[in-house]
Every structure is written in structure tokens, then in C-alpha cells.
Amino acid sequence: MAVSVSILSIITALHLIAFVLAIGAERRRSPAKVVPDKYDERTYCVYGSDASTVYGLVAFGLLLISQAVVNGVTRCLCFGRGLVTGTYTICATLFFILSWISFLGAEACLLAGSARNAYHTKYRGSFFAKDLSCATLRKGVFAAGAALTLFSLVGSILYYWAHSRADTGGWEKHQNEGLGMTTSSFPSQPQHQNSEFQKV
């Protein structure tokens, strides 16, 4: 199986868009502040925009699609055709593990960050209490997802390249086999027949 430029373009584009969205989610984390209720002695949390949750979920989906494309083309390393044993097969296995570990880590960060960012605390306690804090997403969760997305991109590209080099394409190698020059088994025509055809 040869390396397909279109497959590489799809993988790279999806990963990079997911990376940009993860960075955007980190920058747009929902802020919160404690505000006293006008009608009773309780306080509540007022939250900002939920754009970070949307960015995180979209990045999660794009990364999932990219991983599905890579493993669909290579048949997840396990269910495809036989690979030539050697350096490329070892590299394909190592990069396969790297891509999956970084993919799962990135997806966990993006999903957990989106869920935590979407969680809004309503009431926090008495109006006379001090130093109240609202539940917000900790800084760096989406940034970690963005970094792992880049690792997943590198791992996926290298895995696809190594798998393409190690793929036999369904054919087995045999020693000392090939096409050789052979002589024709048809009898040669006499020279006088050709001369007769030229006369006619």
C-alpha cells in the first residue's frame, strides 16, 4: 500500500483544526463570580460564555474522526494483510501505540474539560459567608489536550507511513523469481512463403 497524499492531508487537517479549537477552548474557559441574591440571604454563581465547551466537544469529534480514518485505512494494524517482518513493522507497531496513547489522553482531556466547563454551580451558601468560590474548570486541561493532539498527529502520520512501507500489499516475496526471456515455441515460417505474399 502506497502512502496516499489525500489521507495524509485529511489526518493533518483534522488534527490541526482540533488543536486550534483546543487552544481556543483554553482561552475561552467560562469565568464565574459570586453574586448576592436580591430576594434572600443566599449567594449564587454567575458564569460567562460556554464557548469553551463547544470548542472542546468539536475538537473531540474531529480527533475521533481522524483516528477512525487512520485505523480504517490501515485496518487497525491487526486485521489487515500481512506485513513484511523487519524494521518498518516494528516502527509501525511503536507508532501505533504512541498514536493511541496520545489520542486517548487528548480525548480524555477534551471531554473532561468540556464536561467540567459546562458544570455550573447554582447556590453557594449564606450571604454573610466570605471567600466563596464557584466551580470552574482548572487552567491547563484544554492546553494538555491540545499538546496531546499534536503528539497524536505525529504518531498517526508516522504510523501510517511505517505501515505503508511494511505492507506487502497481499503479495509474498520469493527469492530468485522473476520474468525471464523465453524463446517462442512457434515454428518459423519458411522464407519463400513471405516472398510469395509479396508477389501477390
The grid cell for 183 is 524463446
Q: What pTM was computed for the model? A: 0.73
Which of the pair, 111 or 172, is modelled with greater confidence? 111
Give CA–CA dist 152/26, Å, rounded.
19
Position 3 scores a pLDDT of: 78
Give CA–CA dist 30/26, Å, rounded.
9
pLDDT tens-digit map of 82-105 = 566 778 888 888 999 999 999 999
The grid cell for 86 is 523487519
Which of the pair, 83 or 200, is modelled with greater confidence? 83
Q: Which strands make up the sheet holding 123-126, listed edge to edge? A: 32-36, 42-47, 123-126
pLDDT tens-digit map of 119-136 = 876 666 555 555 556 777
Domain locations along the chain = 5-33+49-118+137-168
DSSP-H helix ranges across 119-166: 141-166
What's the whole-number average pLDDT of the chain? 79
Which of the pair, 46 or 67, is modelled with greater confidence? 67
Q: pLDDT-derived band of residue 194, with 50, 70 and 90 as boundaries?
A: low
Whole-angstrom CA distances from 198 to 56, 139, 189, 190, 193 are 83, 93, 14, 14, 9
Look at residue 177 and tell me whether its pLDDT is greater than 70.
no
CB-based contact 50:118 (threshold 8 Å): yes
Q: What percent of the chain is modeled with pLDDT above 70?
A: 70
Q: Hey, what's the torsion of the CAs at 38, 40, 44, 46, to 10 degrees?
A: -10
Lowest mean pLDDT among 24-28, 67-71, 122-126: 122-126
Residue listed under C-alpha cell 471567600:
131
3-class secondary structure, 138 = coil
